[in-house]
Homo-oligomer: A and B are copies of this chain.
Amino acid sequence: MMIGSYSFEEFKEKAAAFHGYPAPGLLIGGYMVVAARAGLAEGTLFEVIVETPKCLPDAVQLLTQCSLGNQRLKLVNLGRFALCLFDKFTGLGFRTYLDMDKLGGWPEIRGWFLKLVEKKDQNEERLLAEIEAAGDSICTTLPVQVAKAFLGRSHMKSIARCPLCGEAYPEEDGPACLGCRGEAPYVAGIALNGIATRQEQA
A residues touching B (Cβ–Cβ < 8 Å)? 18-20, 23, 26, 29, 49, 51, 53-59, 61, 65, 67-71, 73-82, 84, 91, 95, 97-101, 113-115, 142-147, 149-150, 156-159, 161-162, 165-170, 173, 177-179, 183-187, 190, 192-195
Contact = CB atoms under 8 A, between A and B. Distances in A.
A173 B79 contact: yes
B70 A68 contact: no
Given A67-B18, A67-B57, A161-B100, A79 B146 contact: no
A57 B95 CA distance: 24
B95 A167 contact: no
A54 B69 contact: yes
A144 B186 contact: yes
Contacts of A115: 156-159
Nearest to A196: B144
Q: How many copies does the complex hold?
A: 2
Contacts of A57: 67-69
Nearest to A73: B68
B100 A166 contact: yes
Of the listed residues A56, A142, A177, the one surrounded by the most CB atoms of chain B closer than 10 A to its CB is A142
A81 B149 CA distance: 24
A158 B118 CA distance: 11
Contacts of A193: 142-145
A20 B167 contact: no
Given A67-B58, A193-B144, A159 B113 contact: yes
Contacts of A142: 193-195
B61 A18 contact: yes
A144 B70 CA distance: 27
B26 A76 contact: no
Nearest to A185: B150
B54 A184 contact: no
Contacts of A51: 179
B186 A95 contact: yes
